[in-house]
Amino acid sequence: METKVKKEIREVHKEDLQILMNDINEKSFRVQQIMEWLWLKNARSFDAMTNLSKNLRDELALRYTFRPLTVNKTQISEDGTIKVRFETFDHHFIEGVLIPSTDRLTACISSQIGCSLTCRFCATGKMERVRNLLFYEIYDQVAILQELAEKHFQKRLSNLVFMGMGEPLLNYNHVLRSIDKITWSKGMGMSPSRITVSTSGIAKQIKQLADDKVKFNLALSLHAADNEKRSKMMPINDSNKLEDLVEALDYFYKETHSPITYEYILFAGVNDSDLDAANLIKLCRRIPSKVNLIEYNAVEGTGFVKPDHTILDRFVSTLQKNKVNVRVRRSRGKDIDAACGQLANKG
């Protein structure tokens, strides 16, 4: 006899829970209590739902399963950054980071177990992609990092970035579904304007974001404003040339009215010349945008190094003189491999 696989409770629609309550003679308000436990109180077991009767909790456990992320390891950097290694129900590891700064408290989360894009400078790119994360696994990262924010800093998250392990737009449906729950007014209630999804650049999916009229921010992991250099660093550029990306980003801006953020890591002798700056300036003039210049964090075996601070200063000055909105983003959590590009389940 074939065993029926239980559905994860967070996959169950509210309407189906209502039908169940009717079938087992429970009051309708129990549905709202269950939803609050799942998306507001972030319960990770049926036993945690303490205002439900034991009989109802047992009934839920009989019909459904719970597959929450668990915390496998937590590391705290000397600068206050907290890195968490999460374990999935099928015993894989992903990482998320809580980043404190003067005016914000940011959670950086993952969208895939591993990554398939093999960016040359990224530790995660050296890993194989095992699978996409499910929407509730993405949500769990935020919920757990929220708890850590309140415990260590006595305040809630101010910002959320999809800049951890994996390519978010290759897990399109679950990423958007997770954001729906993260921004739900009866749950975590985070404003979409506080959320940024970072992509290596998949033109077709960027256009889909525009068609779906998303409210969150979009960042492109750029790192070079000419195709030859970008393809050497990021093989995804071979199938998503800059011309196609610019067309997609222009469409995204026209449909959403949301400016684009270009993420640009400076590598010594690779993309830090005056010509590189000029190419970036031309790109920025095509679509309303800003540039985050990111300090490179060493990853063993890549061969990349960060430029001297005088090169960085000159690059920034060139952009500023040409009216580019640019900000230098300093690395956080380098001592625990929590900085940009370093997430690889080490330790």
Active site residues: 95, 340
DSSP-assigned letter for residue 56: H
CA distances from 108 to 98, 119, 162, 199, 339 (A): 6, 19, 6, 14, 10
> What one-letter code names the amino acid at 9?
I
Pairing of strands 112-113, 82-87: unpaired
Are 274 and 265 within 8 A, CB to CB?
Answer: no
Question: Which tokens in the block code for residue 195?
Answer: 């959320």
Q: What gap in Å lies between CA 10 and CA 35, rounded to an integer?
A: 9
> Which helix (DSSP H) or strand (DSSP E) does residue 66 occupy?
none
Beta strands (DSSP E) in the chain are: 7-8, 64-65, 70-76, 82-87, 93-100, 105-108, 112-113, 131-132, 159-162, 195-199, 217-221, 260-265, 289-294, 326-329
Q: What gap in Å lies between CA 52 and CA 58, rounded to an integer?
A: 10
String of b and e for 154-168 (b: at least 16 CB within 10 Å)?
eeebbbbbbbbbbbb
- What sign does the CA torsion over 124, 219, 336, 329 have? positive
Decide: residue 71, CB within 10 A, 0-12 exposed, 13-18 middle, 19+ buried. middle
DSSP-assigned letter for residue 129: P
Are 246 and 262 within 8 A, CB to CB?
Answer: no
The rounded Cα 221 to chain-centroid distance in angstroms is 13
Phi, psi of 235 (to 5 degrees): -55, -25
